[in-house]
C-alpha cells in the first residue's frame, strides 16, 4: 500500500526521497510524487506510473531543489491512478503540501464543509481534504494545526506535511498506519518502513498513534496531543543496507527463497537452549495453559495459511480446541471470547488492518493476545500482550516466502512448548523434536539444491490455465499456500483442496491434462492421498507429486515427483512448501511476470 518518505538534512531532498521511495516500491503502488520546500516555496512533481516516470520528470530529482521534502508512492483507493490523484496534494494557496497513507473515513463530510468555505477540489482523493483542512485550521502554529487534525480526521493515516511558512522542517504523524522516524547525524527522516531509512541511519523511533513529530536537519521533537514534549527513545535496527538489496539475485523473491535456511536458523537458535525451548519473554505456565479453554488463530493470506498448520499441530499437541480465522471475517462475526481465550495473531508486517482490528476486538473481550510478527515495533507487536518475533529480516517481495517459513517455525516451537508444559510429550519425544528442529535448516538447504529440476518442470508446465493442489491434514494446509503463491505471481488460476473433498464437486473440472499437484508428505495419511491422486489420474489429470525421499508409493501414480527430506510429521510443512515456492517462482519467471510486485497486490495491507 502507499509509502511515505520525508527528509530534512544537509543533502538535496529530492534524490534522497526518490531513493527512499524506491525502497518502498515493494509495498505496491501505481503513482509517485514528491514535494520539496525551498526558500519559502513548495515545488511539487508527481506522476502516475512507476517511479521511473517521476525520475525522468525530475531528472533524477535534479530539477527540484531544496533540503526538506516529502515523497509518496500511491496505491489507489479513492480515485483512479492518475497524475492529479497522485500525492503530494497541495492546499488552495499552495502553502501546504501533504502525503498520506490510509483512509479518511469522514472525508466526504469534511469536503462538504470545506467546499462551503470556498475550497475547490482538483482530485478524487480523500487526502486532498487534509491539505485544505491544514490551511483552514492554520493560524501561525503548525503544531496546533496537527493536533487539531487528530481531532477532526476519522480513519487511518500516516501523514507527512510541509508548510511554506516553516522553512527547514516538516511535520508527520500517524494513526493506525505505519510510520517510523529515522534519527540520523545532521539529517532526520520518516518513512513507512525501515528499509527506506537504512542508507541514513539504523537508529529509529516507532511513532505511536497521534504523536506529532517535527523534524529538521538537527532536531527531532515529538509531542502528544496536549503539546507535551515526549522523550525520543531510539531503537537500534540490526539490519544493514544490504539486507534490503537484491545482492546479485534477479528478484527479491528468489533471494528470499534462498535465504530461508539462514532465516530458520535465526528463528530457531535463540529458542533452543540446553535442550529446552525458551520462548523469549512469553512466559506461560502449565496452570495458565490448563486454564485456556480455546485458542483462536487469526491472520490474513499466507499468515492465515500458517494458522491452518497451527490448528492441526496445536490441537494435536495440546488437545485444546483451536479455531483458525481469516481476520476480516473474525472481526465481524461476533466470536465467543472470554478471559480463558488465547488468541494468536500472525502477521509478517504487523500492520495488516484487519488483523489489527481483530486483535483489538479480542483484547477488548478479554483474550490474552500472543502475536507472531516479523517487523519490530509494528502496531501488532506493540499492542499484543506477548510477542514472538520471527527474525526473518526484511522481506521485500510481495509474495511471502521466508516470513511464512519462519512463522511456521514459531508455531512449531509454540506447539512443542505447550506439549512440554502439559506433559503431552515425554522427554524422549521432545528431544527427538529438538534434534529435528536443529537439522531443519540443513534439510531445507538440501531441498533448495533441487531447484533445477523444479525449474525444468516449470518450463514444461507454465502454460496451464488452471492448476489444483490437493493434500490432507498438514499437506492440505501447505496446499493452500502453494496455490496462493502460484496465483499471486503467475496469474494462473489455481485452487487448493483437501484431498477427500475434491469428489464432492470439484472433480468435475478434472479433464485430460489438468495439472494436479498432490502433496503426499504427511506420513500418517499418505495412503489416503494416494487414493485421491488415483481418482484424479483416472480422469486424465497430469500428476505432479511432492513426496518424502524414499517413498515409492507416489512414484507409481505420478507423472513427476519432487522429493523432500523426511522430518518429523509436525515439522514436515517447512520442507514440503519449498518445491511449491520454487515452482510458482519459475512459472512466473517463464511467463515474464513482474515477480516482486505482482499486479494489484500490496505488501502491507493497511486498509480494510
Contacting positions for ligand F6R (CB under 6 A): 300-303, 347-349, 352, 355, 399-400, 484, 488, 604-605
> What minimum distance in Å lies between the beta carbon of 335 and ligand F6R?
19
CA 99 to chain centre: 22
Which is nearer to ligand F6R, 198 or 484 (by Cβ)?
484
> What minimum distance in Å lies between the beta carbon of 600 and ligand F6R?
12
> What minimum distance in Å lies between the beta carbon of 346 and ligand F6R?
7
> What minimum distance in Å lies between the beta carbon of 460 and ligand F6R?
25
Which is nearer to ligand F6R, 352 or 576 (by Cβ)?
352
As a whole number of angstroms, the distance between CA 356 and CA 345 comes to: 9
Q: Where would I find the H helices in 23-81? A: 51-57
Q: Cβ contacts of residue 77 below 8 Å, gap of 6+?
A: 103, 126, 607
**Selection from 328, 355, 329 nearest residue 343 by Cα:** 355
Q: Is the dihedral of CA 230, 232, 235, 237 positive or negative?
A: positive
Take residue 69 and report the three cell numbers written for it.
521534502
Active site residues: 2, 603
Which is nearer to ligand F6R, 308 or 543 (by Cβ)?
308
> What minimum distance in Å lies between the beta carbon of 297 and ligand F6R?
13
Please name the residue that has the C-alpha cell 523426511: 566
* Three-state secondary-structure class, residue 514: coil
Which is nearer to ligand F6R, 58 or 604 (by Cβ)?
604
Which is nearer to ligand F6R, 192 or 604 (by Cβ)?
604
* Buried b / exposed e along 196-232 (16+ C-beta atoms within 10 A): bbbbbbbbbbbbebbbbbbbbbeebebbeeeeeeeee
> What minimum distance in Å lies between the beta carbon of 518 and ligand F6R?
22
Q: Is the dihedral of CA 584, 590, 591, 593 positive or negative?
A: positive
- The pairing of strands 386-389 and 235-236 is unpaired
- Cβ atoms of residues 425 and 320 within 8 Å: no
- The pairing of strands 515-520 and 542-548 is parallel
Q: At what angle do helices 427-448 and 573-590 cross, to 10 degrees?
A: 20
> What minimum distance in Å lies between the beta carbon of 352 and ligand F6R?
3
Which is nearer to ligand F6R, 149 or 587 (by Cβ)?
587
Beta-sheet strand order (sheet of 294-299): 322-326, 294-299, 341-347, 368-373, 386-389
Which is nearer to ligand F6R, 111 or 402 (by Cβ)?
402
Residue closest to ligand F6R, measured at CB: 301
Amino acid at each position: 500500500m502507499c509509502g511515505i518518505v520525508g527528509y530534512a538534512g544537509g543533502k538535496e531532498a529530492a534524490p534522497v526521497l526518490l531513493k527512499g521511495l524506491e525502497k518502498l516500491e515493494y509495498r505496491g503502488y501505481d503513482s509517485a510524487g514528491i514535494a520539496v520546500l525551498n526558500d519559502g516555496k513548495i515545488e511539487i512533481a508527481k506522476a502516475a506510473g512507476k517511479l521511473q516516470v517521476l525520475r525522468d520528470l525530475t531528472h533524477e530529482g535534479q530539477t527540484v531543489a531544496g533540503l526538506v521534502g516529502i515523497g509518496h508512492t500511491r496505491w489507489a483507493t479513492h480515485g483512479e491512478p492518475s497524475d492529479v490523484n497522485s500525492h503530494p496534494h497541495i492546499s488552495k494557496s499552495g502553502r501546504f503540501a501533504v502525503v498520506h497513507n490510509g483512509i479518511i473515513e469522514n472525508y466526504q463530510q469534511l469536503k462538504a464543509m470545506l467546499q462551503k468555505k470556498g475550497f475547490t477540489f482538483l482530485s478524487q482523493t480523500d487526502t486532498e481534504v487534509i491539505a485544505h483542512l491544514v490551511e483552514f485550521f492554520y493560524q501561525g502554529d503548525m503544531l496546533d494545526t496537527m493536533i487539531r487534525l487528530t481531532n477532526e480526521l476519522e480513519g487511518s493515516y500516516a501523514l507527512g506535511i510541509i508548510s511554506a511558512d516553516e522553512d527547514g522542517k516538516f511535520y508527520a504523524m500517524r494513526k493506525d498506519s505505519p510510520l517510523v522516524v529515522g534519527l540520523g547525524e545532521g539529517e532526520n527522516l520518516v518513512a513507512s518502513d525501515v528499509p527506506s531509512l537504512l542508507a541514513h541511519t539504523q537508529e529509529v523511533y516507532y511513532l505511536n498513534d497521534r504523536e506529532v513529530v517535527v523534524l529538521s536537519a538537527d532536531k527531532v521533537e515529538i509531542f502528544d496531543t496536549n503539546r507535551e514534549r515526549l522523550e525520543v527513545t531510539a531503537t537500534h535496527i540490526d539490519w544493514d543496507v544490504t539486507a534490503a538489496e537484491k545482492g546479485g539475485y534477479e528478484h527479491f523473491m528468489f533471494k528470499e527463497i534462498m535465504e530461508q535456511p539462514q532465516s530458520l536458523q535465526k528463528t530457531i537458535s535463540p529458542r533452543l537452549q540446553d535442550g529446552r525451548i525458551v520462548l523469549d519473554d512469553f512466559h506461560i505456565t502449565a496452570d495458565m495453559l490448563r486454564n485456556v479453554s480455546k485458542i483462536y488463530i487469526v491472520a490474513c493470506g499466507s499468515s492465515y495459511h500458517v494458522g491452518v498448520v497451527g490448528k492441526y499441530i496445536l490441537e494435536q499437541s495440546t488437545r485444546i480446541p483451536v479455531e483458525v480465522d481469516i481476520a476480516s471475517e473474525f472481526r465481524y462475526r461476533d466470536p465467543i471470547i472470554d478471559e480463558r481465550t488465547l488468541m494468536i495473531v500472525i502477521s509478517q508486517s504487523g500492520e495488516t488492518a484487519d488483523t489489527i482490528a481483530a486483535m483489538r476486538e479480542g483484547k477488548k473481550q478479554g483474550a490474552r493476545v500472543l502475536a507472531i510478527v516479523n517487523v519490530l515495533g509494528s502496531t501488532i507487536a506493540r499492542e499484543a500482550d506477548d510477542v514472538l518475533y520471527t527474525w526473518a529480516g526484511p522481506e521485500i517481495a510481495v509474495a511471502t516466502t521466508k516470513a511464512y517459513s519462519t512463522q511456521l517455525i514459531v508455531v512449531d516451537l509454540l506447539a512443542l512448548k505447550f506439549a512440554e508444559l502439559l506433559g503431552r510429550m515425554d522427554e524422549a519425544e521432545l528431544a527427538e523434536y529438538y534434534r529435528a528442529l536443529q537439522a531443519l535448516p540443513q534439510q531445507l538447504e538440501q531441498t533448495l539444491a533441487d531447484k533445477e529440476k523444479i525449474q525444468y518442470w516449470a518450463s514444461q508446465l507454465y502454460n496451464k490455465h488452471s492448476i489444483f493442489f490437493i493434500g490432507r491434514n498438514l499437506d492440505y494446509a501447505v496446499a493452500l499456500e502453494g496455490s496462493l503463491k502460484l496465483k499471486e505471481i503467475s496469474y494462473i488460476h489455481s485452487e487448493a483442496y483437501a484431498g477427500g473433498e475434491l469428489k464432492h464437486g470439484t472433480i468435475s473440472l478434472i479433464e485430460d491434462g489438468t495439472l494436479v499437484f498432490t502433496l503426499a508428505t504427511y506420513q500418517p495419511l499418505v495412503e489416503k492421498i494416494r487414493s485421491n491422486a488415483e481418482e484424479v489420474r483416472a480422469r486424465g489429470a497430469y500428476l505432479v507429486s511432492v513426496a518424502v525421499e524414499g517413498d515409492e508409493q507416489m512414484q507409481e501414480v505420478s507423472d513427476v515427483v519432487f522429493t523432500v527430506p523426511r522430518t518429523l510429521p509436525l515439522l514436515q510443512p517447512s520442507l514440503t512448501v519449498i518445491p511449491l515456492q520454487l515452482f510458482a517462482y519459475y512459472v512466473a519467471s517463464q511467463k515474464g511476470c513482474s515477480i516482486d510486485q505482482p499486479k494489484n497486490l500490496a505488501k502491507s495491507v493497511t486498509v480494510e
